[in-house]
Structure 1
């Protein structure tokens, strides 16, 4: 009981601190969901910079997380003490490093834990388990179909995604919807099959000196399974309390043994997701008929394989690959019919219409490599990785006013554009451990080189889709903005780590990178850890980082139209962006500091606290908001024409808009209670505190400030000030039960005016309503039963209390129907979700 009291005391200290950090009391009120809209017709191991042997000794699926919540699963879950013994391969040169001994904070999430969340998306599963990870809850247009993930209050641009230690390619589509993610080109993490995942290692520390560009906030390394036999299947079906958003996620994975202790495994994931709509009362029609606040309908198939074959004792051939295909329909704002003055197509759509953005996305990646030993005693890893993403964008159930006025006809479906990105990465790494006879541990030495070739292509849409004002809903890319770009990247690194004295470890890393379009950079990292005794340790890191602007960020253009306004994004090098004063993009550069303590006060209890500061100079964001005639002039100069129905217009472009400082802290605690004949309980608690401040804001070539108040708040207050997850999992015989509570801290937004204000304030780029989204609580429950030794069943509910965010004031509800802020990264907008899951092992 004393041990349980100690864990409770730790939680009692954390929870008030979370609430106090808000500056006011938390609110957990639930709000009723808006009525659903009706009546619409819908037409590692292997790392380029950290070579390490693959953890073949690890079972699949893996153990419970070292630092994250543990939830119900048919697979084996280790107790807290056992999880601390997990071997890790991310952020370390030591082939025998364990999670509890890591020099930097590393969270390990097993495949069983991912399944136990009941989430259909890999992104949502990770953000459910780790407080430092957040995501955009919903977007608009093509942005609503991208699954991206953020770490430590920074965007997905500053988080590097690896698959078995190899750099993953990004999506081809820029996330252009407003909010913290605006302007980013993230990795679509849901294009990695869960059926092929053994576990995921999340390095919560800057690691650009080890892994290269993008690893400013940290690294997410997806470790693939080494299954040699058997078949695993899972079926998950669920929906929202409102009766919509039905989702089905099913997968199957099979393993086969190859000669010479090799393996070959295959996996396939299948997902269907239906629309869920949460719009409010549309002021134009006095009906609940605007579906803009919605989840897209999507059908997705993701396949993958992973294999190893030992050619001889000192040489191993390995390869892995993923292939994904997703089609999605994203609903746009409702356009009124003849019952409301100003109908755009009274003959074609007399009852009104909803334009539908349709995406057809193909994602692929393949890696082939050899790993072995050289005659000098070095371990080597030679690999090549090729991956890419292609997204065809169309719009349906709409029309073109320009075509109708000029030619007397209009089609109802249009091809808007096609985005394509490719990435070819080649790595050669060497590593060796030296026994000096002087140091307390071996000297781990690594050196390597990388060559990467990247391409990006924007295709023009159909003539009908870009003729003058284009199709209602989204303007197609005209030939003048279509482009193909490429660049070469070369890099070299060196890394040395050792244990100087018993209990004192350190790691030193340095990296050089050259980009043919943005130049050179040299970055470094020093990390150290000292174990005072087996109960107490301290660790810290000082590092510099670097992120090159992506080719998509430099070239992307779009024009999105709503019923009363239009907003455009121009490529940095386009004529319109130059007119507005755009400068060529520079790389982001960062300096990071972190310090932490690790406590193991009693058996089965593990506590850690890590504080950090991340300074980023020249952050790349969408900025330079221009309104009125100047915006129209710039867009038309680039071949994008605003429709006559747009009462207001804005234009923007990617820019090095600001320098920021992010400070925060991660606290975690795990404890195991053994109840004897009544089973055991794995307790866990984790919290992230986070705050970003702007240190300076840039200006364009015309002397104008690049960021307005709304854009500044995208960087500083649209993500929760803190996020707390706590709960436990009880296992008793064939029964398991888990309950976890998540508290999302407050967010503060600057919202655009739309209703009941003077005309000069409508869609203003200088005047906004400041709105505080108070903290929210969400409870997740799951109960499971081992029906047979091979079959496990789970019933669960996420957001049991059906909690919703706080509603926006009417003045900033676009058309009266956008009742929640879709841009902040707090809790979801769709309410309670229930599901049933069956897991079968053969």
Structure 2
């Protein structure tokens, strides 16, 4: 539903319940409002969901939400991905504090990871990021699109299709589509600056942003946008307890502040730039857009104790916190043309995108080199993903076709997609093993060795046909089919989708979808290999030092441990919904869904020797050091996801007191495992479960089964007040050993934004996110070091955040 969560909400249960009751009770009094009032959202035109055909949101045969730029700007400290999760109930934004993985955060839709939602910009495919998801609750290894590298200031609105669209847009649109529409005006602009910090004093954030439109030729436009932000580090770990001895000297031990963990939000500096342009000529319209982003992050880690095996006292007599330096460089460029030929509208485009992630480290050691160790490493590893996509699309409207007397919309197209994933080795001092009796390798770091470098290239060729029929004045049917060919082991696939909408009355309609999907393994899942010197969690939930090796499932090491070549994931989906517009300015939608995914890819549990020598024997036979921990990706699960989305929206005119727009969103979502891979015979007697309860829990328990968003937006002349409260249902963390299972209760999180506009152009705002400073429960497995007491909550665990903002529109 468009603008469904535009405006703020309430908090704690009594307030949220009151807001919900006001919303529901407000429907009836306006059922007979003046006929000249336009129905809510009737003028909002979208292009997502039905290829080649624009429709109003109210007439959409599939569930679609729209987020406008004003809503995005009112989400406080949030960047683009977190803003979406704050505004839509079916999306959740995970927190990942796993050191070098703490920059890219997973955005899931309907509890399915980010790789199952296709991201488009102006209807064109966005390239993926270079780093596979690993840590927090997403251990799929897929390299999701990092939309935080798109400037928020460039976004006009976002169309979100909450339904499978693999047959229309591509094989990875299993859970839906996010289509980011860039601003396209030829004049005017917006300038903005904001400042804020967490209640704890950490996470100080400064943002500046702006955009402006320019006329291009007689009737074209060129719209330029940029933003820059700086965010200070923040952590929310407990202090180490009295059992942790950092110093052998009692006096130094007594003076130690017991801060042993600094994992959390890294210090971050980022800059994003974008343009969107269009130039109509005589018979063709040329268009182009581009985005460019740089992001530098500095992530802190575990304290290397001065008396520990990772220290060299001659260099760091008081121990050290290794710093991960992560530099993202990202860009995408698109050029295309469109026009009309023989009554067919055509669109030809080409786009290239690249994401490059470089790792370095300061305040660090390779302890095994002793006093000869560097204290910084300028090159630990580099990851790069490139994508080149070419599209040719045709669409035509027929008043009748196939002996039908009703109109038919025909859309067809071809696509070629080339993609490459590469890793580059770091400097030898970061990974070699010296003679000093201490830990080996740069600490808390991911390192790529020359033998672990990979360069994978894949081509995909696809064609689709989409037919939209207005069978009657009230009944619309859309049928789409897509065939794809991968030139690697993923092979060929055919996807089909049928969706329909029928108006029962002028105010009530039903809609439904049935379809299939296919997701080829990501290149990161196929080929990524790395060894790192971090910490890992054993079967009892204890955090212990470990040298961990991620190896491709097709490698000899993985096959010796039961691995096999990855197969594509196959999906089937059903959807059934109801839309109701009982009155002007009032809209209610309810959409139920079922998504089955077979051969779902996940990371194995940690495979390491548990004292019986079985795993060490296999490692030695493969030339791998005993004691190494191993993971690989495997087709682990067949899953079923069932859920329900409800969205309600109503505007109440209060005459001299302004207007209030009420919004309510609800999502129920449950994933069950229908089948799973057994532990292979090669691991018999090892005590290792290949895919343990921890990986099951990532899919079935780690995301909330319910989420409520309740909001109210009051506007009175130049004053605007947005109040929003979100209830995240309870979550669980499952461990390999059931004694390590933990539960975290439901929480209400409240955001508030108050803005006043002076002189028609200057707007001052003050606000806060999580204004009541609600934290997750401290139920994580106890760590003597104080690690991650909040576990992996579905909302930001850093507590309350306040901000001020000044904006100028011209």
Establish whether TM, by shorter chain, passes 0.5.
Answer: yes
Q: How much has 1:564 moved relative to structure 2?
A: 3.3
Q: Tell me the secondary structure at the aligned position of residue 627 of structure 1.
A: coil
Q: Which one of 54, 64, 67 corresponds to residue 106 of structure 1?
A: 64
2:316 alignment counterpart: 349
Q: How much has 1:570 moved relative to structure 2?
A: 1.8
| Whole-angstrom distance in 2 between the partners of 1:583 and 1:447 | 37
| Whole-angstrom distance in 2 between the partners of 1:831 and 1:185 | 29
1:420 alignment counterpart: 384
Q: How much has 1:733 moved relative to structure 2?
A: 1.1
Does residue 534 of structure 1 match 2:518? Answer: no
Q: How much has 1:439 moved relative to structure 2?
A: 5.1
Q: How much has 1:119 moved relative to structure 2?
A: 3.0
Tell me, yes or no, if the aligned pair for 2:475 and 2:503 is still in contact at 8 Å. yes
1:30 alignment counterpart: none
Does residue 839 of structure 1 match 2:807? Answer: yes
Q: Tell me the secondary structure at the aligned position of residue 699 of structure 2.
A: helix
Task: Provide the TM-score with structure 2 as the length reference.
Answer: 0.88
2:717 alignment counterpart: 733
1:772 alignment counterpart: 743
Q: Tell me the secondary structure at the aligned position of residue 384 of structure 1.
A: strand
| Whole-angstrom distance in 2 between the partners of 1:483 and 1:680 | 58
Q: Tell me the secondary structure at the aligned position of residue 451 of structure 2.
A: helix
Q: How much has 1:569 moved relative to structure 2?
A: 2.0
| Whole-angstrom distance in 2 between the partners of 1:572 and 1:515 | 19
Q: Which one of 541, 545, 560 corresponds to residue 579 of structure 1?
A: 560
Give deviations 1:724-777, integer Å, cap 9, x for gaps. 0002010011111111110000111124xxxxxxxxxxxxx5455121111001
Alpha carbons of structure 1 residues 633 and 333: separation in structure 2 relative to 1, 3 Å: farther
Q: How much has 1:715 moved relative to structure 2?
A: 0.7
- 1:696-735 aligned at under 5 Å gives the runs 696-699=675-678, 702=681, 706-735=690-719
1:362 alignment counterpart: 329
Q: How much has 1:634 moved relative to structure 2?
A: 6.9
Q: How much has 1:635 moved relative to structure 2?
A: 7.2
Task: Provide the TM-score with structure 1 as the length reference.
Answer: 0.85
Q: How much has 1:655 moved relative to structure 2?
A: 1.1
Tell me, yes or no, if the aligned pair for 2:390 and 2:417 is still in contact at 8 Å. yes
Does residue 459 of structure 1 match 2:424? Answer: yes
Does residue 823 of structure 1 match 2:781? Answer: no
| Whole-angstrom distance in 2 between the partners of 1:472 and 1:637 | 27
Q: Tell me the secondary structure at the aligned position of residue 586 of structure 1.
A: coil
Tell me, yes or no, if the aligned pair for 2:399 and 2:405 is still in contact at 8 Å. no
| Whole-angstrom distance in 1 between the partners of 2:564 and 2:660 | 57
1:393 alignment counterpart: 359
Q: Which one of 304, 309, 312 corresponds to residue 335 of structure 1?
A: 304
Alpha carbons of structure 1 residues 320 and 615: separation in structure 2 relative to 1, 3 Å: same
For structure 2, the 5+ residue unaligned runs are 1-8, 18-36, 246-255, 434-439, 536-542, 684-688
| Whole-angstrom distance in 1 between the partners of 2:620 and 2:376 | 24
1:403 alignment counterpart: 369
Alpha carbons of structure 1 residues 700 and 440: separation in structure 2 relative to 1, 3 Å: farther
Does residue 122 of structure 1 match 2:80? Answer: yes
Tell me, yes or no, if the aligned pair for 2:96 and 2:136 is still in contact at 8 Å. no
Q: Tell me the secondary structure at the aligned position of residue 501 of structure 1.
A: coil
Tell me, yes or no, if the aligned pair for 1:497 and 1:505 is still in contact at 8 Å. yes
Q: Tell me the secondary structure at the aligned position of residue 350 of structure 1.
A: coil
For structure 1, the 5+ residue unaligned runs are 1-10, 20-78, 643-647, 752-764
Q: How much has 1:818 moved relative to structure 2?
A: 1.8
Alpha carbons of structure 1 residues 591 and 310: separation in structure 2 relative to 1, 3 Å: same
1:520 alignment counterpart: 492
Q: How much has 1:636 moved relative to structure 2?
A: 8.0
Tell me, yes or no, if the aligned pair for 1:783 and 1:796 is still in contact at 8 Å. yes
Does residue 600 of structure 1 match 2:600? Answer: no
How many positions carry a matched residue from both structures? 743
| Whole-angstrom distance in 2 between the partners of 1:80 and 1:417 | 57
Does residue 213 of structure 1 match 2:197? Answer: no
1:316 alignment counterpart: 285
Does residue 153 of structure 1 match 2:111? Answer: yes
1:442 alignment counterpart: 407
Tell me, yes or no, if the aligned pair for 2:441 and 2:533 is still in contact at 8 Å. no
1:262 alignment counterpart: 220
How large is the Cα RMSD of the aligned pairs? 2.3
Alpha carbons of structure 1 residues 640 and 361: separation in structure 2 relative to 1, 3 Å: farther
Tell me, yes or no, if the aligned pair for 1:395 and 1:414 is still in contact at 8 Å. yes
1:166 alignment counterpart: 124
| Whole-angstrom distance in 2 between the partners of 1:594 and 1:560 | 45
- 1:442-521 aligned at under 5 Å gives the runs 442-468=407-433, 469-517=440-488, 518-521=490-493
1:33 alignment counterpart: none
Q: Tell me the secondary structure at the aligned position of residue 626 of structure 1.
A: coil
| Whole-angstrom distance in 1 between the partners of 2:319 and 2:49 | 55
